[in-house]
Amino acid sequence: MRKHLVIALAAICALGAGCGRSTSGTAAPTPPSSTGKSAKDLVPETVRKSGELRMATSEGYPPMEMYKPGTQEMTGVDADLATAIGARLGLRTRIINASFDGLIPGLQGGRWDIAMAALSDLEQRRKAVDFVDYFNAGGSIMVKKGNPEGIKTLADLCGKKVVLAKGSSNLEIGKRQDDRCAQKMEIMQSEDAPTGLLTIDSGRTVATIVDSPVAAMYAKETGKYDVLPEQYDAGPWGIAIDKKQTGLRDAVAKALQELIDNGEYGKILEKYGTTANAVAKVTINTGA
């Protein structure tokens, strides 16, 4: 894992409980579904006059946000979705790279309109912003290609040598499982996901747990790993919008639902190997 990815992960964890993934128990306000208006019709006048949708993100968390090789042009799931949402709203999307811990303060200060950076929808964050939930992700087990140990579930990790990234929510998933194991795991802690994968390559460990979209990316890029389908501690990731901007929030939610309905959302997630993280319906503030 590149250094900036480690920083991003640390920041994510610092702003939430663990890395913030958990199931929802919160009543969900529903996005505007009809009223005969399109997403474009719902855009607040102040934003319409500006002609652009300012989206802030924090580069360094592939496949969600990263630079195209050799360029300073942002790409990834969040960048592509933001551009598509802007188009539905009749706006040009301007992507701004910012520090992760400055994303929400930037929204509150009016420096940008939305923030998309693999942000878990958490109660703590909802004190400051609303979330249009667009992605569902948890930790997935990664094993060597072909799964020679025949691992199928977390319980199959009992008695096995497992590597987990320090300070990650995935380490907590592994520890919770280990508490339930009659035959304990041998848990090695790595600095980050890529160095953990090196221990699988060398046979020092047999499995790890990595955020599912990131796991899918590594598996696709290297061809050396299998990612098991089940996700643990999965929960919604949301597009953050300042609580005062309810009109823009509803416009973004409507635009995203239109992208889901016309198939463009699915094509973007498929492009980055994250189809398993798709949602069928947009919700607002449905995190833990």
Please write the tens of the pLDDT for every residue from 76-118: 999 999 999 999 999 999 999 999 889 999 999 999 999 999 8
Q: Residue 76 has which token pair?
A: 């990834």
Residue given tokens 């953990």 in the structure block: 196
pLDDT digits (tens, 9 = 90+) for 236-252: 999 999 999 999 999 99
pLDDT score for 31 = 59
Q: What pLDDT is attached to residue 61?
A: 81
Strands 186-190, 225-227: pairing is: unpaired
- Alpha-carbon distances of 287 from 48, 64, 170, 189, 235, rounded to whole Å: 29, 19, 18, 28, 7
Structure tokens at 255: 């635009």
Q: Pick the closest to residue 206 from 168, 149, 248 (CA basis).
A: 149
List the one residue out of 283, 279, 280 whose CA is nearest residue 253: 283
Angle at CA 272, nearest 5°, toward 123 and 43?
Answer: 55
Residue 6 pLDDT grade (very low, low, confident, very high; cuts 50, 70, 90):
very low
Q: Could you report how far apart the first and last alpha carbons of the chain are, in Å?
A: 28
Nearest to 115, CA basis, from 123, 128, 124: 128
Question: 3-class SS at 130?
Answer: strand
Task: Summarize pLDDT for 22-75 with one digit per residue, the tens.
Answer: 333 344 455 555 567 899 999 999 999 999 999 999 887 889 999 999 999 999
Domains of the chain in sequence order: 39-135+236-279 (3.40.190.10), 138-233 (3.40.190.10)
Parallel, antiparallel or unpaired: strands 161-165 and 207-211: parallel
Q: How far apart, in whole angstroms, are the C-alpha atoms of residue 105 and residue 97?
A: 14
